[in-house]
Structure 1
Amino acid sequence: MKHKKLIAGIVGIVLGVIITFFIPTPHGLTHAGMIVLASLVTANIFWIFNVIPSFATGLLMLSSWVVLGAVKFEIAYQIFSTTTMWIIIGGLGLGAAATKTGLIKRIALKIMTFFPANFRGQTLALFTAGTIIAPMIPSAHPKTAMSTPIAKGISNALGYKPFGKGSSGLFLAALWGFFVTEASFLSATAQNYAFKGLLPAKAQAQLNWGNWFIMMIPWTIIILIGGYFLLTFLFKPKDDKPVSREFISKQLDELGPMSREEKITAAVILVAIVFWILESVFNIPAAVTAIIGVSVLVALKVLIPEDFKTRLSWNTIIFIGTVMALGNVMQSAGLTTWLRRILAPAISPIIGNIYITVIVLPIIIYLCKFVVVSLISTGTLITIGLLPFFSQMSFSPAIIAIIVTTSVNVWLLSYMNAPILTGSAAVQDSMASRGAMAKSSIGYMFLNIIGLLICVPLWQLMGIA
């Protein structure tokens, strides 16, 4: 429909006005809670239909709370002064340096030289390279944009036809390694910090870099091993003989010797990851480590002021901040208590048993992805819906953030996953067929639930389930 956005915008605003000013405040809910509820309804419609840029919708939502007297400015915008926001900014800065200097591409290509130049070997190489690189860049789009052209070059060198089995499989191997494994590391994507930021303080403290990594080890193993066998089963060409590694060697030769900027960036990122892992030992917040790392890169002229304008996604940073603000404000306005009572009959059976949760909640998220395109928006809506029930769960709410971050990354239909669209655009939509994308997504959806189920005993040993 030509005017879909305009119609959706009008409907969203009208619903917000009706809820705020014309519907009587239900028993047990304050007028402030009604304002927050109304703004959330309007914002969701704006996000689902992309009426205006997502970050602008978020800022208007926060401002409406202040203008209509639901909460004070200090509460509405408090999230922007938290460590979570600064680690996102710092992490994106480190990732920008790794991409700018060519360090990430060099690491990926170098790893590929250790594997056979056939479908099985290069699929495994893309899995390995992506998993190693994932925690270094907290943004999916540059990783998919960088990895898929490498996969296309390998596909061409191996003589695979566009949209054929081999071409589709290598494209998906690049996405699987560089994008899917983002859920394995807290620092691998800004959305992990966004979902973590919606949790209570105690649950957030449980999700430091090291704990997140440990909690996800069984899932990561299942996703990598299961994903490798899935892609080779579905897409391995009949004749899978090794060929020359000339393409990879040529790409490395074009990069030349490792530059001063690459060496500095590699050292800074390595030190940052060590400090993130040992955050509780050094007692230095992860955000401070990230900001110091970026400052060092600026001081040594690896990053310049212009990079902060062009290489950092400020609209994403602002959007994440606005959605994270919902947690505190909903509690402050009394909305969480009211929603808990209203939604209890439907939600309580799902969260009453950890095994039921890790099966049913991903399925709910998969279904939501047919409607809500944005990965962060989907995860935020699910987390906010469960927010009133965190105190009733027999397991830590930290697990909700884990389930959400693994389950929003589906690509059954092309529009469901923007980073994968970026990767596809980087190779002119010339590698994977729609059928291949759908089959691999269905496989991932099953593997994700299996991986989460296998994580449960570990989580129980850790005392969080």
Structure 2
Amino acid sequence: MGKYAIRKIGFFIGIIVFVIMLAMPTPEGLTPIAQKVLASTVLMVIFWVTEAIPIAMTSYLPLIVFPIISLTGAKGQNDIQLFSHYAYTTVYLLVGVGFLSGAMVKWNLHRRIALGIVRKVGAKPKNLILGFILAVAFVSMWMSNTTATVMMIPVALSITAALKDTDGGFKKALILSIPFAATIGGIGTVIGTTTNPTGIGLIRESIGLDITFTDWLKIGLPFVIVIIPILWIYMVKFFKVDKMKDIDVSAIDNEYHKLGPMSKGEKFTAYIFLFAIVAWMTRSQVWGKFIPFATDETIAMFAALLTIVVPVNWKEGEYLMDMKTAIKEIPWSACILLGGSMVMGNAFKDSGCAAWIAGKLGGLAGLSPLLIVIIVGVVTAIITELTTNAVVVAAFLPVLASVGTAIGVNPLAMMLACMLACNFAFMLPPATPPNAVAYGSGEIEMADLIKCGLGLKIICLIVFPVIIYGITMGVFGFGV
């Protein structure tokens, strides 16, 4: 069944299910308001998963549906808020980071960082794979995973074009390492992938836990540090790269030298980039006590302001970024998705719908908390192959928060399991844009992506509960 057929079917199924759920008698224990919220939530989830309409437009559905079904409107009747959530604080983190990452792309700073790492690893094929993995993972911690992938695929192709790789093993290993490393690297920081700000916002609203930039490093960075070496060993062994002869890496040197010396704009962007990183990492422990109302969003927007006011050529009126370019670089779809998920998540909680569902799942209370977390991870990892990561987080985190509280399992552990596992999208092109970019290069087959991705998915599913309980909540004691 084609993608467009799925969209059409999803559109009609979503509407039919929505109408049926509104018309049916209110289930016992559920209020009429909660029934409307549940129907709206199911409609949005179906539309999100099938992409019946663009994901961002689905996120705007509450603005249309809620007033029509007399659920809420501009005044926030029934304690269900609507418009305010589309301007949620984390949206401004995404906006500010959009300015900063746009400046890095404009002045080629991201490319210099990536190529600089790769060219240091030497001529051995397995080391070159490691260089690409490290470079892509690091860059994707600070900007879009898709951008990191798009940037490095042409470099990889220029290298493989000059090789006598008869069975294509090295080429496949190199091409697939890029999207996998981008996806894993994006987990490392708050700004590395859109799922992180979305999930953090929902955690803040659902269980009242404010996760700062430094806090997330205790969650995401250990996972990256553990998985990246495993990814390297896995790719080398899966494609038998360790048995190949040394190769000519002059193509990397050529690409790096084409960049020339660092331009003024590149240097200024690097300074602002480093300033933002240091500010994020030191806010809660160092300077935050002197400016108590500052947040990670404050830093992001200040960095954005700097890219607009710092001149590269004062006489010509040229600055690091202009507003037209900056506006294009902001991930607007992610901002809208975050707003829509916040509306849905809060309505789900405030209406009593989440508590009602949690009561229906009370039978899970007898299971081991570790087993429940693993089940959440496995289910999420399967679903994330069929739809985008951020959609999975937006749809399931509000439910997991209430279920965890109801059955006596740490809701944070369940929500983190979902946030991590939704990134284990390694098997199919539609699962994540980096996969689609790699597959679109024409250098790998679908079978390569599925077989290699499945093994990596299983490895990640084994590792993630160890990270959550052993390091995040064990060593750091975060969320205990």
Give the TM-score normalised by structure 1: 0.91
Return the match for 1:457 from 446, 464, 470.
470
Aligned residue type for 1:460: G
Return the match for 2:357 from 329, 339, 345.
339
Check 1:395–1:321 CA distance in 2 against 1; reply closer, same or farther (3 A cut).
same
Q: Indicate conservation of the 8 Å contact 2:86/2:339, yes or no.
A: yes
Return the match for 1:153 from 150, 153, 158.
158
Q: Distance in 1 between the 2:37 and 2:207 partners?
A: 24
Q: Please, which moves more after superposition, 228-237 or 415-424?
A: 415-424
Match of 2:112 in 1: 106
Question: Secondary structure at the residue paired with 1:187?
Answer: coil
Q: Distance in 1 between the 2:208 and 2:147 partners?
A: 27
Q: Please, which moves more after superposition, 386-395 or 184-193?
A: 386-395
Return the match for 1:407 from 421, 424, 447.
421
Q: Indicate conservation of the 8 Å contact 1:97/1:303, yes or no.
A: yes
Return the match for 2:400 from 372, 375, 386.
386
Check 1:234–1:87 CA distance in 2 against 1; reply closer, same or farther (3 A cut).
same
Q: Distance in 2 between the 1:400 and 1:305 partners?
A: 40
Superposition map of 1:99-248 within 5 A: 99-137=105-143, 139-160=144-165, 164-201=168-205, 205-237=209-241, 240-248=244-252
Q: Distance in 1 between the 2:271 and 2:12 partners?
A: 51
1:316 aligns with 2:334: yes
Deviations 1:207-257 (A, max 9, x none): 222122123444223311211111110113475232333111111122121
Deviations 1:131-188 (A, max 9, x none): 3222221x22212111222222232244335x82111101122223222221122221
Match of 2:372 in 1: 357
Q: Indicate conservation of the 8 Å contact 1:76/1:325, yes or no.
A: yes
Check 1:271–1:159 CA distance in 2 against 1; reply closer, same or farther (3 A cut).
farther
Q: Distance in 1 between the 2:463 and 2:6 partners?
A: 39
Q: Indicate conservation of the 8 Å contact 2:203/2:210, yes or no.
A: no
Check 1:205–1:147 CA distance in 2 against 1; reply closer, same or farther (3 A cut).
farther
Return the match for 2:279 from 262, 275, 279.
275
Match of 1:348 in 2: 365
Give the CA deviation at 1:4.
4.5
Give the CA deviation at 1:374.
1.7
Q: Indicate conservation of the 8 Å contact 1:119/1:170, yes or no.
A: no
Q: Indicate conservation of the 8 Å contact 1:358/1:449, yes or no.
A: no
Aligned residue type for 2:132: L
Check 1:155–1:118 CA distance in 2 against 1; reply closer, same or farther (3 A cut).
farther
> For structure 1, which runs of at least 5 residues remain unmatched after alignment?
none
Deviations 1:271-309 (A, max 9, x none): 111111122132220001000101110112211121134
Superposition map of 1:19-98 within 5 A: 19-20=21-22, 22-73=23-74, 74=76, 75-98=81-104
Q: Distance in 2 between the 1:50 and 1:206 partners?
A: 31
Q: Please, which moves more after superposition, 62-71 or 259-268?
A: 62-71
Q: Distance in 2 between the 1:133 and 1:17 partners?
A: 46
> For structure 2, which runs of at least 5 residues remain unmatched after alignment?
289-293, 311-318
Return the match for 1:419 from 427, 434, 437.
434
Q: Please, which moves more after superposition, 186-195 or 240-249?
A: 240-249
Q: Name the structure, 1 or 2, with higher relative contact order (CA <8 Å, separation 6+).
A: 1
Name the count of aligned residue pairs.
455
Return the match for 2:344 from 312, 315, 326.
326
